[in-house]
Structure 1
């Protein structure tokens, strides 16, 4: 029977980890204490010498899994094709790097690796034999600003359909389902000198059921005059290229892709005191997934941490816990 399960991406707690307020044991214990079933790992950040960790490092990771009962779900992978100043990596070099990531995921007990958005389609076929040998799937992240209408994404999807393998799929980032522009982003940028008028314009688009990404596309790939008119300050010019990274797709955009969707990032900017996230309808999404028999994990991915105002305390732990409590309550209601 299909069942939706919750996970946490440790990306959500990166400030706690980076500034040594929490180590890997602390992070895993936090997940255990709050009923989280699965974990999404960033080996580059949290596993020494990745993608070639020592056996001692691997054993330590498995000991943490045994102690907490948290299940390893997916490893986040970044294909650094611009490692060198004078050239991009060759196709063979790219594929060889990803083969190493597949082997590492197998050692860590992960059945899947997330390919960051824009990873080229041509890695799929050469990687398939290794995916099968090590029982690790590859899944491209569908991310706001680089979602279903991007040429690179479309090329990957076409190749995924052509190969039609259970080892190739998609990870959906719910930043493509914003129904409001995140107010923590607005507050942070206005504090840095951005114009409130720029965000008033973005809010007006969401109120109409659209977003800047769609409006620019409909305008032949150029910014509409209404948007250009509200770009006034230096900070406006710096942030304007990022404004189309918050999209307002309907859940139905996933209808044809449900057989290929293997994992979800529950993008989260701000859990409100009332319960729901300010920008997104998680309950509606979970109801959609339940109706479509999704059998997999939905992983908290907190990104409000990059928009904390100066002098305000970091809220990673509180926000992750609030998100998990809300997701788990919704799933209890929907699945029981």
Structure 2
């Protein structure tokens, strides 16, 4: 059986943090008050001395984690190939940038580091010895529209098997198992005047796996405007959904999972996520040998603390069954 620990990505509080409503310390304290055992921080967003960590900042994190009894578990690294204005970074330059992130994660005392799939499988293979040396496990994120068995994700799997390293693996984002349209985007589209029947048409086209260009033209022919088309773009992109999520793929990659991003966009008062079937995802993890964290990751802007509270409550409820 798995040993699942529940944490919170401080990204969940992004809107309040950016607006100055919450400080970094407020975010850490809130995660602890909600009962999280650990937290994840996105370096480019909340690390004051990003991409490095000064001794002063390290002391501040140590003080806060000790004060609130919560562990700094995961460092979210950005694979930013657009750092230069004149060209994209080369693969080697992105590798060197990720090594800096790895050193930062190590200094912060993190167990794991999330990287994005702009870091190629070949670069991740080169990174494996560094991860082993610094003692930080690296998880490449599986994020919509990718799934565990997407061809590109399978290229990473080949690297894991080739190297045999226990320090590189996957960080699946639960959003890639969504079964319904994103409620937040759907509601926004309606508020902006989108007819429900056209939104339903867009969703059905996605369920039927109609190619995006064809689906787009059919919607336009039906009279879809900007509000509908905005929601449609998400349905075929970062908030896509599936009639049959890749649960079998999840089972196959479980031995290579470093940690999870427990993505959520809207939590009902009944403790159900509006589009992601946690009641089907969590049993797969619970019946594996996984030993690590699920980091609650709220990706919307309203009522972040309450939504995160509900999300943790839902996970606890489902995991005791």
SS at match of 2:140: strand
SS at match of 1:267: strand
Give the corresponding residue for 1:259. 255
8 Å CA contact 2:91–2:119 kept in 1: the answer is: no
SS at match of 1:293: coil
Partners of 1:84 and 1:252 in 2: how far apart? 40
Give the corresponding residue for 1:303. 299
1:252-282 Cα shifts (integer Å, max 9, x gaps)? 2212111101111111111112221121221
**TM superposition shift of 1:67:** 1.4
Question: Which consecutive unaligned segments of at least 5 residues does structure 1 have?
Answer: 206-210, 306-313
8 Å CA contact 2:146–2:176 kept in 1: the answer is: no
1:241 pairs with one of 233, 247, 258: 233
Give the corresponding residue for 1:319. 307
SS at match of 1:262: coil
8 Å CA contact 1:197–1:230 kept in 2: the answer is: no
**TM superposition shift of 1:122:** 1.7
Give the corresponding residue for 2:105. 105
Q: How many residues align?
A: 316
SS at match of 1:215: coil
SS at match of 2:209: helix
1:34-77 Cα shifts (integer Å, max 9, x gaps)? 21111011121111121212100011111111112212221111
Partners of 1:294 and 1:154 in 2: how far apart? 20
**TM superposition shift of 1:151:** 4.4
Q: 1:289 to 1:151 in 2, by over 3 A?
A: closer
Partners of 2:154 and 2:246 in 1: how far apart? 18
1:215 aligns with 2:203: no
1:141-168 Cα shifts (integer Å, max 9, x gaps)? 1111123454433322322222221111
Alignment of 1:283-294 (within 5 A): 283-294=279-290
8 Å CA contact 2:7–2:40 kept in 1: the answer is: yes
Partners of 1:133 and 1:230 in 2: how far apart? 58
Partners of 2:158 and 2:111 in 1: how far apart? 23
Question: Which consecutive unaligned segments of at least 5 residues does structure 2 have?
Answer: none
Per the normalisation by structure 1, the TM-score is: 0.87
1:329 aligns with 2:317: yes
Alignment of 1:1-336 (within 5 A): 2-148=2-148, 150-204=150-204, 211-212=206-207, 215-216=209-210, 219=211, 222-224=213-215, 226-227=218-219, 229-230=221-222, 232-245=224-237, 246-248=240-242, 249-305=245-301, 314-331=302-319, 333-334=320-321
8 Å CA contact 1:180–1:279 kept in 2: the answer is: yes
Give the corresponding residue for 1:208. none
RMSD: 2.1
Q: 1:135 to 1:251 in 2, by over 3 A?
A: same
1:191-241 Cα shifts (integer Å, max 9, x gaps)? 234443332024446xxxxx45x714xx5x743465554462133344433
SS at match of 2:8: strand
1:283-308 Cα shifts (integer Å, max 9, x gaps)? 32212211123221111111132xxx
Per the normalisation by structure 2, the TM-score is: 0.91
SS at match of 1:50: coil
